[in-house]
Structure 1
Amino acid sequence: MTEPNQNEKETTEQKPGKISLQEAMKRKLAEKKQAQAQANNPLNQKAKNQTMKSQLTKKPNNQRRRMGV
């Protein structure tokens, strides 16, 4: 599936000038598919599924103590 897209890109990049709307849409779709494939890559999953930090490590709010309430 990726080989025809690469071949089409090579042939269209060789000729200078305007490209058709259809060709532009094909290129954009190919770029979008590549981006989605990279986003679904298992190497990037680690960054998405980070564990939450405990909120017990937060500094307590001592505003009441400062105000004398």
Structure 2
Amino acid sequence: MKSSFPKFINIKQIAAGFGISELTANRYSIGPDFPEPFYFSPGKKVWLAEEVLAWFMSRRGKRRA
């Protein structure tokens, strides 16, 4: 059964998913066009995976034919 809850990801998962360092992921996360995070507690910051993927796809260049 598929969950109807949205998937949340943290900075480590963002870095691993895009093959970048956590430092680079943190730099992206403070940019003005990066999705807003959710704070579950003072030390727990997460993002909606769907929003992060949409942000990534909007930044990629056009593919060559």
Q: TM-score, normalised by structure 1?
A: 0.27
The structure whose Rg is larger is 1
Q: TM-score, normalised by structure 2?
A: 0.28
RCO higher in structure (CA 8 A, sep ≥6):
2
Q: Quick check: which one's helix share is greater?
A: 1
Q: Quick check: which one's strand share is greater?
A: 2
